[in-house]
Amino acid sequence: MSDILLDLAQNPRARKLIQSAGLPIPMPAQLLRQRGPAVERPLMDQAVLVGGNGELTAVIARTLIIAGGNPWLAAAQLEGPFKELGEAYGRLPKIVSEPELGENTKASLSSMVFDATGLQSPAELDAVYGFFHPWLSQLRKNARIVVIARPHESASSAPAAAARSALEGFTRSLAKELGKKGINANLIRVEEGADDRVAGVLRFLLSPACTFVTAQPITVSGAAKFDGEVSWVRPLAGKVALITGAARGIGAATAEIMAAEGAHVVCLDRPEDDGPASQIARKIGGSVLLADVSDPEAPTSISRALKEQHGGVDIVVHNAGVTRDKTLARMKQALWDQAIDINLAAVERITTELLKGTLNDGGRIVNLSSIAGIAGNVGQTNYAASKSGIVGLTKFLARHVADRGITVNAIAPGFIETRLTAAIPVMIREAGRRMSALGQGGQPEDVGQAINFLCTPAAAGVTGNIIRVCGGALIGA
């Protein structure tokens, strides 16, 4: 489905005419998306400004330099770790003060990273303002901003807890201020003892793969056991991934992305969708598994097929779902039951069965929630209940399988351009597109990239998270 405003925004003459006329028409930016599988150096030759005076300077230095970035440092005291590694990789850090405003320096930054792990009081938030304020005008379109902090729950004093918590409101607001340029801003909360698991998350949030993930806090912990190796290229090589609802939309996009990253993808869908499911499987070199997830026998049959045909499974993506929209007063019992059973109860039944021995240790589970399950929506009490239930299920499972090295997370998409949103009345669809910081709808592959990241070894520190792929939704997210 074509987005007229996005098309207009790419026409310089139309954009100039609308702006000169002073018309209150939003002009969304063309978003930079990852094309093809992950690369070793996603930040190749990009200028990344680093500030703060926290505990993760060495981790940030290693992550950025190995990813190919050119580090600019806002303070000389940060130079040590960057200089040592930069000499080995030929990427020596550059110490900068305030930008030299001029044509040659305009829009020179690709990313900004602020280490706030050392903040101990609200007064120290001045450092956040001092870092970002002079440099925001230097950010390119589609730039990335990441703030790194400790969780406020683990603070040892009231002032420290207040300062840490303030960073979430700051990051969300900054994301919404800069979204019109396609710029993302996100917060990483790093629990004590999990510093060695930050690199993968930071790389993802600075890359084109996180296009529609903005204004989000992501917690990194050491909860899930992990003693494996992280590979930045083809990280899913040798893995078997089950994706439900794989015939179309988000499921099909995720299947293609995971296959490109090395996984053998089992495309599960209803027997009625044998045609499109088989087409996707052939395209990516995967296999087909036909089952109705609402069938009481589905958990057993799915588990048996995965064991017999693949020796088990490493990744499970619960994407299958339905909408049965009606206001509660007009909703029939059957519509309520279908939404709850397919979107929530079936996820629990299948997961419980797979955890009995079919899902391998060190595996990954990703459940599909929705911002409707977080914020609620008119005419979707059944759907919102089911998707909110996914949040509780995800957090519960994450705690109970961590000792097996299994991570469990949920993705909550916002307005995504699929056949379902294409059927929405035009005015409602247009409003849905604009109600986000990025001012446009996301694409199925935007959700697929977030799902794919959570399934890689690099995301071993991310479990029990609910990550919204919503472009920075202005309401409820």
Element (H, E) at 114: strand 109-115
| 28-220: CATH topology | Rossmann fold (3.40.50)
Q: How many CB atoms lie within 10 A of CB 404?
A: 15
Residue 14 has pLDDT above 70, yes or no: no
Token pair for 381: 């009490």
Residues 314-337, mean pLDDT to the nearest whole number = 96
Residues 451-476, mean pLDDT to the nearest whole number = 95
Residues 277-304, mean pLDDT to the nearest whole number = 98
Cα–Cα distance measured from residue 46 to residue 189, given in angstroms and rounded to the nearest whole number? 24
The alpha helices in 295-411, defined as continuous H runs, are 298-310, 333-340, 346-354, 371-375, 381-401
Cβ pair 415, 421 in contact under 8 A: yes
**Can you tell me which residue has the tokens 């990703």?**
366
| pLDDT in the model for residue 197 | 98
| pLDDT in the model for residue 36 | 94
Identify residue 120 by its one-letter amino acid code: Q
Residues 252-266, mean pLDDT to the nearest whole number = 98
pTM of the predicted model, to two decimals? 0.94
Q: How far is CA 122 from the centre of its chain?
A: 29
Q: How confident is the model at residue 299 (pLDDT cuts 50, 70, 90)?
A: very high
Angle (nearest 5°) at CA 69 between 66 and 71: 110
Tens digit of each residue's pLDDT (9 = 90 or more) over 70-97: 999 999 999 999 999 999 999 999 999 8
Least confident of 94-98, 270-274, 332-336: 94-98
Residue 4 has pLDDT above 90, yes or no: no
Q: Which residue numbers are catalytic?
A: 383
Cα–Cα distance measured from residue 391 to residue 369, given in angstroms and rounded to the nearest whole number? 7
Nearest CA-CA partner of 135 in 164, 165, 173, 174: 174
Cα–Cα distance measured from residue 367 to residue 242, given in angstroms and rounded to the nearest whole number? 12
- Give the start-to-end residue ranges of the domains of the chain: 28-220, 240-469
| pLDDT in the model for residue 422 | 67
Residue 59 has pLDDT above 90, yes or no: yes
| pLDDT in the model for residue 24 | 47
Cβ pair 109, 143 in contact under 8 A: yes
Cα–Cα distance measured from residue 188 to residue 116, given in angstroms and rounded to the nearest whole number? 10
Nearest CA-CA partner of 43 in 34, 52, 51, 54: 34
Identify residue 262 by its one-letter amino acid code: G
Residue 8 has pLDDT above 70, yes or no: no
| Superfamily of segment(s) 240-469 | NAD(P)-binding Rossmann-like Domain (3.40.50.720)
The dihedrals phi and psi of 330, each to the nearest 5 degrees, come to: -105, 0
| pLDDT in the model for residue 433 | 84
Tens digit of each residue's pLDDT (9 = 90 or more) over 146-169: 999 999 999 999 999 999 999 999
Residue 419 has pLDDT above 90, yes or no: no
Would you call 197 exposed, middle or buried from its count of C-beta atoms within 10 A (0-12, 13-18, 19+)?
buried
* Side-chain-side CA neighbours of residue 378 (13 Å): 1
Angle (nearest 5°) at CA 430 between 429 and 432: 65
Token pair for 372: 């409707």
| pLDDT in the model for residue 393 | 98
The alpha helices in 355-434, defined as continuous H runs, are 371-375, 381-401, 419-422, 426-434
Which residue did the predictor score with more confidence, 54 or 22? 54
CB proximity list for 202: less than 8 A, separation 6 or greater: 59, 60, 63, 113, 146, 148, 188
Tens digit of each residue's pLDDT (9 = 90 or more) over 108-135: 899 999 999 999 999 999 999 999 999 9
- Calculate what percentage of the chain has a pLDDT beyond 90: 85
Q: How far is CA 272 from the centre of its chain?
A: 31
Same fold? 28-220, 240-469: yes
| pLDDT in the model for residue 108 | 86
Cα–Cα distance measured from residue 357 to residue 41, given in angstroms and rounded to the nearest whole number? 37
Identify residue 164 by its one-letter amino acid code: R
Tens digit of each residue's pLDDT (9 = 90 or more) over 21-32: 454 456 789 999
Identify residue 281 by its one-letter amino acid code: A
Angle (nearest 5°) at CA 240 between 235 and 246: 100
Residue 276 has pLDDT above 70, yes or no: yes
Q: How confident is the model at residue 431 (pLDDT cuts 50, 70, 90)?
A: confident
Tens digit of each residue's pLDDT (9 = 90 or more) over 163-213: 999 999 999 999 999 999 999 999 999 999 999 999 999 999 999 999 999
**Can you tell me which residue has the tokens 């304020």?**
133
61 three-state secondary structure: helix
Residues 26-52, mean pLDDT to the nearest whole number = 93
Token pair for 334: 């059957």
| pLDDT in the model for residue 207 | 98
**Can you tell me which residue has the tokens 């209940």?**
385
**Can you tell me which residue has the tokens 């930071």?**
202
Cα separation values, 325 from 52, 251, 383, Å: 48, 21, 8
Element (H, E) at 360: strand 359-368
CB proximity list for 363: less than 8 A, separation 6 or greater: 313, 314, 315, 316, 404, 405, 406, 407
| pLDDT in the model for residue 98 | 82
What DSSP string runs through 250-289? Answer: HHHHHHHHHHHTTPEEEEEE-GGGHHHHHHHHHHHT-EEE
Residue 244 has pLDDT above 50, yes or no: yes
Q: Under the phi-then-psi rule, with left for phi > 0, alpha for psi from -120 to 50, and beta for the rest, what region is 357?
A: left
